[in-house]
Amino acid sequence: MPHHTNRGQTLDMSDTANEYNQITDEERDPLIIQSNGVTRRKSLVKISSEKKEERLLSLDVVRGITIFTMNLVNHADGSYPILEHAVWDGLTLADFVMPFFLFIVGCSIVLSHNKLKKRSSRTDILKKSAVRTVKLIGLGLLLAAIGYIPNIDIYRFRLPGVLQRIAIGYFITVCIELFVPFLEISDERLERGNGFVPPESSRLYAVYYRLTRGPLKIVVTYGIQWLCAIFILLMYLILVFNVDVPNCGRGSLTPKCNAFSYIDQLIVREHHMYQYPTCQKLGCKPFDPEGLLSNMASVVSVIIGLYYGYVLVHVTRPKKILMHWIFPSSLFLFSGLMIHFFGGFPLNKNLYSPSFLFLMAGAAGFFLSIFYLVVDVYRFKKIFMPFIWLGSNSIIIYFLDEAMPTVIGWFCYDGNDNNIIQQSQTWLKDHMGERHGIFFYAMSDTIFWTLVAGVLYYKKIFFKV
């Protein structure tokens, strides 16, 4: 059901960035406080409660651009190669969509929890997050079911999916953000807060003290969360290179021989997997691009997004925010390229390879940095309003765009292929050529749903998941 609310209030799971406390531009250091005549630094984790509330539009813009691209490429198959997913190794525009969206989900979790923790317990937040997760999975399964109506074939029902992947990454990251302890920082002494600090007498204390006074302050504060991401990635790599695939052996990364498809066939079963993967041209069928192993790696994209959200919560000046974003983004980009060229694990969206994961994280970080500077610092907002519309209702727009062609296809005249969608596509191909016709249809569809999002935005209707 739609909910009516103010524009500054979020109601979409993926749009939780709208619920947060934005940073003031005061020319002061928010870490400095006075106590009994003594000047000292506050803990980073206590700063966020003092921030002035203001909407961060750049997150909506980046999310909106991602949804716009997602809707476009979903209907542009057969038009131009750049709008189609890479068959196996490699990278196209279509491959940017999922990791960008997961990255924004991670960033949004922090900004939402920063506000929710003031009035709700961690257990209450977890319960709400669990409900959102179930709703997302339900929407994903409903999308799969729509294609079979009125005769839903349970045996061939696809279980993995895009919304299911988002739900899994979201919930695991929420648990990490809520319950994994942070490393409390103070300048006078390392006090024990809600987090964990090394004993003052230990050698670790000295190393920790030095690290937490420099530019790595935020990285170290949430260091245990980084360890969670590393652990997940290590488990992914152990399974990828140590599962013995029949007739293939261990460590194979070819379309026909890989642990990804083998594990999915064992657990999910072949008839519940995606039947039309892009790599079927290379003989990889069965294969599900949203399978179990690749879902494991995709969680790391969401966890990386947490860091960028923490920077917004804890850093005051835009210049420093950009500095805290650009450095790790450069590091992620460099790491992804090194793994691709020298690490033996090429860019591969189907496998969600480490090279792909890190390259996309770096690209998403730079993308967010650019739009933060343009939209939130320099206030160039109007030109990006269509993307803000999409970003404010991203999940429902994606769902409707995916479901509507199938629903329209239920109503036909003299044959299943004789409906308004098929007739429109055929007419465009006949008059514009195959590629141009498909692209024009995909772009028209995407613009239509962008306008729908605009109507919802100005009517102040935001759908809650």
Of residues 17 and 349, more confidence is placed in 349
188 pLDDT above the threshold of 50: no
* Cβ atoms 305, 103 nearer than 8 A: yes
* pLDDT recorded at residue 414: 64
Pick from 16-25, 134-143, 339-348: least confident: 16-25
Mean pLDDT within 118-147: 91
Pick from 168-177, 305-314, 326-335, 402-411: least confident: 402-411
* pLDDT recorded at residue 60: 93
145 pLDDT above the threshold of 90: no
Highest mean pLDDT among 93-107, 216-230, 420-434: 93-107
* pLDDT recorded at residue 416: 61
* Cβ atoms 221, 183 nearer than 8 A: yes
Q: How far is CA 442 from CA 80, 334, 420, in A?
A: 11, 34, 14
Mean pLDDT within 78-86: 88
Which amino acid is present at 255?
P
- Which residue has tokens 């569809």? 445
* pLDDT recorded at residue 205: 64
Which amino acid is present at 329?
S
- Looking from the CA of 347 toward its CB, the CA atoms found within 13 Å total 21
Q: Which two tokens stand for residue 165?
A: 């992947």
* Cβ atoms 143, 290 nearer than 8 A: no
Could you read off the pLDDT of 413-436 as tens digits, one per residue?
666 667 788 888 888 888 888 889
How far, in Å, CA of 457 to CA of 352, rounded? 34
Could you read off the pLDDT of 338-356 as tens digits, one per residue?
999 998 899 999 999 999 9
* pLDDT recorded at residue 46: 44
Extents of the domains making up the chain: 2-406+436-463
Radius of gyration of the chain (CA): 23
Q: Which two tokens stand for residue 237?
A: 């790599």
Mean pLDDT within 276-282: 85
Pick from 101-115, 133-147, 214-228: least confident: 214-228
- Prediction pTM value: 0.83
Mean pLDDT within 174-188: 76
CB neighbours of residue 379 within 10 Å? 9
Q: Which two tokens stand for residue 117?
A: 């923790």
Beta-bridged to residue 462, according to DSSP, are: 3
Confidence category of residue 270, pLDDT binned at 50, 70, 90? confident
208 pLDDT above the threshold of 90: no
* pLDDT recorded at residue 356: 97
Q: What is the mean pLDDT of the chain?
A: 82
50 pLDDT above the threshold of 60: no
* pLDDT recorded at residue 19: 40
* pLDDT recorded at residue 441: 92
Confidence category of residue 245, pLDDT binned at 50, 70, 90? very high
CB neighbours of residue 223 within 10 Å? 17
Confidence category of residue 105, pLDDT binned at 50, 70, 90? very high
B/e letters for 146-185, b = 16+ CB within 10 Å, e = fewer, are beeeeeeeeeeebbbbbbbbbbbbbbbbbebbbeeebbbb
Of residues 7 and 256, more confidence is placed in 256
* pLDDT recorded at residue 118: 76
Of residues 53 and 231, more confidence is placed in 231
Pick from 33-47, 159-173, 233-247, 327-341: least confident: 33-47
* pLDDT recorded at residue 214: 60
How far, in Å, CA of 3 to CA of 19, rounded? 15
